Amino acid sequence: MFRSVESFLRPQTVAIVGASETGGAGWPKGIYENFAHEGFPARVYLVNPRRAELWGQKVYPDFASLPEKIDLAIVIIPAEAIVDVLAEAAEAGLANALIFASRFGEGGDDVGAARADALRDICDRTGLRISGPNCMGAISLPERLLFYPTPRVRGLPVGEVGVVFQSGGTFQFWLEQGAARGLGYSYAVSSGNELDLDMADYINFLVDDDHTQVIACMAEGVRRADALMAAAERAFDAGKPVLMLKVGRTAGGQAAAQSHTGALATDDHIFTAMCRKYGIVLVDTLDELIEATLAFSAGRLPAGNRVALVGYSGGAKGLFIDIAEQTGIDMPDFTPATQARLAEMIDSGVSPSNPLDTGAGLARKFDAFAEACKVVAADENIDMISVQGQLPLVEGGAGDPMYFRDIRDSTDKPVVAHNRMSQNINDAGRAFQTAAGIPFLQRLPEVGRTLVALGDYAERRRRGIPTFPEVPAVPADQSVEETLASYGINGPASGFAATAALAGAAAAKTGFPVALKIVSPQAVHKTEVGGVALDITSEDAAVAAAQEMEARLRAADPDAEIDGFMVQQMVDGLEVIAGVRDDPQFGPVLALGFGGVLVEAIGDVSFRLLPVTAADVADMLGDLRAKALLGSFRGAPARDVDALAHCAVALSNAYLDLRGEVSDIEINPLMVGAVGEGVCAVDIRAIRRERDD
C-alpha cells in the first residue's frame, strides 16, 4: 500500500539534472549551493549533455555515464524532455526523481495528461519513485539535505515536526513563519501533483521516523483514500498527532440524488468524518496550523476538555467568553476551595471565576500571578490551562521565563500561554519561549480552537478507533426491514394493499389513524409526488387517498409502475433522519440529524464513518445546531436519546450485514419518542446495488 520514500529523503547519491548557471530560473545553482552550504552531506553529481564542467565539478552527459547508481535525481529541465530523460535514468538504476516542472495533467490538457501517463508507466515498469511534479522540493534537516531551489530554507531549525504540503507556493512561507514562532522540523515535503508518491507515503515515513513527533499537513485533494486512512491509523497508534489544513472544504459533494443522505454528504462532510474517526486534527487556517502544531509539540494531552483561562485583562476575559460560546469550549466553575484561595490572591472586587481576570494589580507581579495560575492548574474541575503572556522583543522585557516554567512544572496538565493579538517575534522572544517551556499562542480565537483540538484528540485516544463487530450473514431471502428488525430497529404496525381498492381494508386491519404511502420505483421521494397521506381515519378515506395518489403519479408519468400502497399506524415523536451509504472514497458513512420533509432545506445533519459507538453518536447529536429539540423544549418532553443512540449504532452494524446487496439505507423519519418510549422507523428505504449481470 505504501511506497518507500527512504532513499528519497535520505539519499546517499544525488544528481542535479539540468545543471547550469542560469537554467530553470537559477534553481539548479541554488540547489547546488544549498548542498555546498551544508558541506555536501550526499555525493552530488551534475548532469547536462551540453556542459563538461561546472562549479569546479565534472558534468556528465547522461545517467549511463555516471560512476554509480543515483538515489535521487533533482530534475530541473523543461517538461517536454522529462519523460525521455527519466526513462533512460530508470534503466540506469535511478531510484527516485524530484520533478519541479508543471504541465503533467494538472491543467486538464491532453499533452500534459499523456506525459503523466508516460511517467506512471515508467514507475510501474521500473519501480522508479517520483515526487511531484509541480512542487517546490523537500528538506531533510537531520541529514542536512536541502532539495530546495533558494537559500531561504538554510536557517530552518531542526526539530520534531514533519511537514507535508501539497501546495508548493505556501510551503516555504509556512515553514519560515512556523520557525519564527519556535517550530523545528525533521522532514518537510512539497508533494505537488502527487503523480506517484503521495501524502500517505510521506506520513507513513514520518510515523516510523524517530525525529518526528507531530505531523503538519496541507491537503488540496486525496489521491488514495484507503492509504491515507491507513497512514492516519498508523500515526494514531504511534501517538503522533496529524494536524491538517484541508483546502476546498466548501466545494460541492458527490451527486447522489437518490437519497437525502447522499445529497447532504458533501466531500467536506465525509472528509471531516474520516478525520474524526482516525484522530486527524483539522484546522481552518495556516495561522491555526502553526498554533496547533506548537501546542501539540508540547507533548501533553488533557484528561478531559475542561479549560481555564487566566489573565489580567477584563476585556480579554469578555472576548474569550464570546469565543468559548462560539466554539463550544467547556469552561466550568472552579471548586469552592479554589475560589476561596483565589479571592485572597487577586485584586479585591474581582470575581474568582473562570475565565479568571486577576485584576491589573498582578499584571507586573509575575510571582504573584504565577501562584494564582498554579492554584487554577491544580483545580480538579480543570483539564488544561491558558495563562496570559507576551513574548519580549528585548531580553528582560517580560520578566523571568521561569515563572511560566514553574506553572508548567506544578501540574501534568497542558499549559499554554496566550496573547490577545498577534505580535512580532524575534530571537529574544523565541529564547524566552524555550526557557519558559510552554508554547505562547497568538490571538484568542486560535487559542480557543487549539484547546478544543487538544481535548478532542485526547478523547479520541481514550476511545480508540472503532472497529466493526462480528455479524452473522444475512439469509438470502431476508428483506432489509427484516434484517433491521433483527438488530432492534422496528417500524410501526403496518399493512400492504396491492391496489387502491384494497387500501381501506388494509388500513382498518392496521388500526386507525394511519398513514398511506404509494410504493413505486418512480416515487423514491414520496412527498415530492404527492405520495403520502397522513391521519386517515376511515376505510373510505384510505381508498380515496390511494386513488388520488395513483392518479397524480400517472399524470406525471403514464408509464409509472405502481406496486401498491403501504399502510402504517401513525406515530408521534420528533422526526430524525438516520442513513448509511457507501462513499466512493472513504467507505460506509452514517448521517444523523433532524429529518422529515425539510431535511435538505435545513441540512442539520452530522456524519461519521462507520462503525460508530454510542459515544460517537452522542458527539453527532452534539454537533447539531438544533440539538435543544432533543431536550425539554417549549413544553415538549425530553426525547429518548439513549434509544436513538442504540438505533444509530444498530444501523451502523446492520449495514455491514447488508452492504453486499444494498448501497444506501435511509430511515426518514425515525420518530423519537419521549424518554422511555423508544424510537420507531416510520419509513425505511433501501437502494439495491446495480449488478453487471
- Alpha-helix runs per DSSP H in 487-538: 503-510
- Look up residue 142 and give its three cell numbers: 537531520
Mean predicted confidence (pLDDT) in 40-60: 96
Are 438 and 419 in contact by the 8 Å Cβ rule? The answer is no
Q: What is the pLDDT of residue 260?
A: 45
Confidence band, pLDDT 50/70/90 cuts, at residue 469:
confident
**pLDDT score of 259:** 45
Here the cell at position 593 is 440529524
- The gap from C-alpha 633 to its chain's centroid, in whole angstroms, comes to 33
Q: What is the pLDDT of residue 65?
A: 97
Q: Could you tell me which residues come within 8 angstroms of residue 462 by beta carbon, excluding any fewer than 6 positions away?
A: none
pLDDT tens per residue across span 411-452: 999 999 999 899 889 999 999 999 999 999 999 999 999 999
What is the arithmetic mean of pLDDT over 282-291?
97
Measured between alpha carbons, how far is residue 503 from residues 506, 519, 569 in Å? 5, 12, 13
- Residue 470: pLDDT band (50, 70, 90) is confident
pLDDT value of residue 267: 79
Task: Report helix, strand or coil for 567.
Answer: strand
Under 8 Å between Cβ of 71 and 14: yes
- The angle, 0 to 180 degrees and rounded to 10, between the axes of the packed helices 444-463 and 286-297 is 50
Tens-place pLDDT, residues 140-180: 999 999 999 999 999 999 999 999 999 888 999 999 999 99
Q: Are the C-beta atoms of 662 and 686 separated by less than 8 Å?
A: yes
Distance CA 662, CA 162 (A): 41
pLDDT tens sequence across 97-127: 999 998 887 767 889 999 999 999 999 999 9
* Domains in the chain, CATH or no CATH each: 6-288 (3.40.50.261), 300-463 (3.40.50.261), 493-569 (3.30.1490.20), 574-688 (3.30.470.20)
Burial of 642 (0-12, 13-18, 19+ CB in 10 A): middle
What average pLDDT does range 445-472 have in this prediction? 92
Distance CA 328, CA 269 (A): 19
CA distance 288 to 323: 15
Q: What is the pLDDT of residues 171-220, one digit of tens each?
A: 999 999 999 999 999 999 999 999 999 999 999 999 999 999 999 999 99
Virtual torsion, Cα 368, 304, 278, 600, nearest 10 deg: -110
Q: What is the pLDDT of residues 616-627, one digit of tens each?
A: 999 999 999 999
The pLDDT of residue 82 = 97
How far is residue 484's CA from residue 478's CA, in Å, rounded to a whole number?
10
**Helices 539-556 and 503-510 sit at what angle, rounded to 10 degrees?**
130
pLDDT at 262 over 50: no
Is 497 in a helix, a strand, or coil? strand
Q: Which helix (H) or strand (E) holds 485?
A: helix 480-486
What is this structure's pTM?
0.90
Look-up of cell digits 449488478: 691
Q: Taken in order 393, 398, 402, 403, is the CA torsion positive or negative?
A: negative
